């Protein structure tokens, strides 16, 4: 049986071009980028070339890119780094209610350490109202963190407007861009963000590598301690093969962005119109908002989401109930309940995330499998 992958927001396969670059680097560029001899300098050159490639994707200066172990570390470094650099014992932080756990758990830890945190609600379509941000500001606010695109819904937040409000108040603005990078065009200057997080494995690079954009002049205290790597912002010998792979993935994303976005949006729309047309009791969560082109979150009333994931897996389709980082959790998604969905409807929702390998034939086959699975699960729940 063939298996088709509709879970690209959880992780992506490593692109062949990226793999090739990484393997040649693993085999040949084994020097430490901090060493001054020939081997070290070869590694340093690869490192800096990758830094330029990452910077180019988000229209930043290469000196503003800090390499990390992934999106979670980038988010942690941004949140803790800004608050600790502020030197305020009573700092105030604003986050949205639908942030990734990497931001929400960091904010919760700051609360335990004495900071105040405001969680902004979102509207029924999943977007943060910039005016709510303005109203939440306090004299002691040091950081606003609102994600660029949501991992479960694909909803794109009004980051430029929120950043404008932040800067009028002299507050640092961070955005978790893990689900946006490689899917939509990003220009950190027009967005107005001071910090922006990225993760390699969400854009066809391997796991274990990411980056944090830090606008020049942004005060950021380190959260780990050691050598003077990454301009004293993140110590530790750099993962050169991983970083080189991230650079190659960013270049690939940049060169295919417009055409691939259009192709994926077409496939997503085909999928949604087929599902809504053929299966009763369905709807698209966050469907009225501006979204990333590859993501669709659909509820199937009267069906348990986890049971659907298993039923579809048995038919050869990989989908998810939402955030992979919280899979196994029986509580409904915090993102879906923040939209105002009932716990039952949240539990009956599935996320479908398309990618480079997705074809129209796969989409049509998925809809067939969904129709059959939903009919079967509804039938047995009625008899249960």
Q: For 209-230, what is the mean pLDDT?
A: 97
**pLDDT per position as a tens digit, 44-65:** 999 999 999 999 999 999 999 9
pLDDT above 60: residue 323: no
Do 240 and 272 fall within a single domain? no
Does residue 39 sit in the same domain as residue 116?
Answer: yes
Asked if 199 and 297 sit in the same domain, the reply is no
Q: Residue 218: which pLDDT band, with cuts at 50, 70 and 90?
A: very high
- Ordered DSSP codes for 138-187: -TTEEEEE--SB-TTT-BBP-HHHHHHHHHHTT-EEEEE-TTTBTTB---
State percent of the chain over pLDDT 70.
97
Same domain, 149 and 265: no
Residue 68 CA to residue 119 CA, distance in Å, equals 26
CA 169 to chain centre: 27
Q: In this structure, are residues 358 and 265 in contact, taking their beta carbons and an 8 Å threshold? A: no
- pLDDT computed for residue 205 by the predictor: 98
- Check if 25 is active-site: no
At 153 the pLDDT is 98
**Residue 23's domain is classified under what CATH number?**
3.40.640.10
- pLDDT for residue 381: 80
Co-location of 280 and 169 in the same domain: no
- pLDDT band for position 383 (cuts 50, 70, 90): low
Clarify whether residues 147 and 172 are in a common domain.
yes
Examine the domain organization and report whether 195 and 273 are in the same domain.
Answer: no
Which residue(s) pair with 318 in the sheet? Answer: 5
Average pLDDT, the chain: 96
State both tokens at 168: 């009028």
- Kindly report, residue by residue over 221-248, the tens digit of the pLDDT: 999 999 999 999 999 999 999 999 999 9
Helix (H, G, I), strand (E, B) or coil at 146: coil
* CATH classification at residue 272: 3.90.1150.10
99-146: per-residue pLDDT in tens?
A: 999 999 999 999 999 999 999 999 999 999 999 999 999 999 999 999
In this structure, are 120 and 197 located in the same domain?
A: yes
**Domain total of the chain:** 2
pLDDT score of 184: 98
- Do 248 and 271 have their domain in common? no
Of the residues 220, 252, 284, the one at which a domain ends: 252
Domain boundary among 203, 234, 252: 252
State the catalytic residue, choosing from 108, 258, 325, 360: 325
Tell me the C-alpha distance between 290 and 180, whole Å: 12
65 and 203, same domain (yes or no) = yes
Token reading at 56: 């180019």
pLDDT tens-digit readout, 6-43: 999 999 999 999 999 999 999 999 999 999 999 999 99
**Predicted confidence (pLDDT) per residue in 181-204, tens digit:** 999 999 999 999 999 999 999 999
What domain range is 97 assigned to?
Answer: 16-252
- Look at residues 252, 272, 289 and tell me which one is the last residue of a structural domain: 252
Widest pairwise Cα distance in the chain: 73
**Same domain as 311, residue 198:** no
Sign of the Cα torsion 346, 347, 349, 350 reads: positive
Q: Which pLDDT belongs to residue 243?
A: 98
At 96, list the tokens: 């949205």
Q: Quote the pTM value.
A: 0.97
Residues 74 and 88 in one domain: yes
């Amino acid at each position: 049986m063939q298996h088709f992958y509709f879970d690209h927001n959880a992780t992506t396969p490593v692109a062949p071009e990226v793999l090739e670059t990484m393997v040649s680097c693993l085999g040949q560029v084994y020097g430490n980028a901090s060493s001054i001899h020939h081997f070290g300098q070869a590694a340093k050159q690869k490192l800096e070339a990758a830094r330029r490639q990452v910077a180019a994707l988000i229209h930043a200066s290469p000196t503003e890119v800090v390499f990390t172990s992934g999106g979670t570390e980038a988010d942690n470094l941004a949140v803790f780094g800004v608050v600790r650099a502020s030197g305020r014992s009573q700092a105030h932080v604003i986050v949205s209610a639908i942030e990734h756990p990497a931001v929400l758990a960091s904010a919760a830890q700051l609360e335990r350490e004495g900071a105040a945190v405001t969680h902004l609600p979102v509207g029924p379509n999943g977007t943060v109202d910039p005016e709510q941000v303005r109203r939440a500001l306090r004299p002691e606010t040091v950081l606003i963190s609102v994600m660029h695109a949501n991992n479960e819904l694909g909803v794109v937040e009004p980051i430029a407007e929120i950043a404008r409000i932040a800067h009028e108040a002299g507050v640092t603005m961070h955005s978790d861009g893990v689900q946006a990078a490689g899917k939509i065009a990003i220009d950190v200057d027009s967005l107005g963000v001071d910090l922006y997080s990225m993760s390699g494995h969400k854009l066809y690079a391997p796991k274990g590598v990411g980056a944090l954009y830090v606008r020049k002049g942004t005060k950021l205290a380190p959260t780990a301690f050691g050598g003077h790597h990454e301009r004293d912002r993140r110590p530790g010998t750099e993962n050169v093969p991983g970083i080189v792979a991230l650079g190659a993935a960013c270049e690939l994303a940049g060169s295919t962005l417009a055409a691939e976005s259009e192709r994926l949006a077409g496939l997503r729309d085909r999928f949604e119109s087929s599902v809504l047309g053929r299966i009763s009791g369905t709807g698209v969560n966050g469907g009225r908002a501006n979204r990333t082109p590859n993501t669709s979150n659909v509820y199937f009333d009267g069906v348990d989401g986890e049971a659907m994931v298993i039923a579809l897996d048995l038919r050869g389709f990989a989908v998810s109930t939402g955030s992979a980082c919280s899979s196994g959790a029986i509580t409904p998604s915090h993102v879906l309940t923040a939209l105002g969905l009932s716990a039952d409807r949240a539990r009956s929702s599935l996320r479908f995330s398309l990618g480079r390998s997705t074809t129209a034939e796969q989409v049509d086959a998925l809809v067939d499998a969904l129709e059959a699975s939903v009919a079967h699960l509804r039938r047995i729940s009625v008899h249960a």
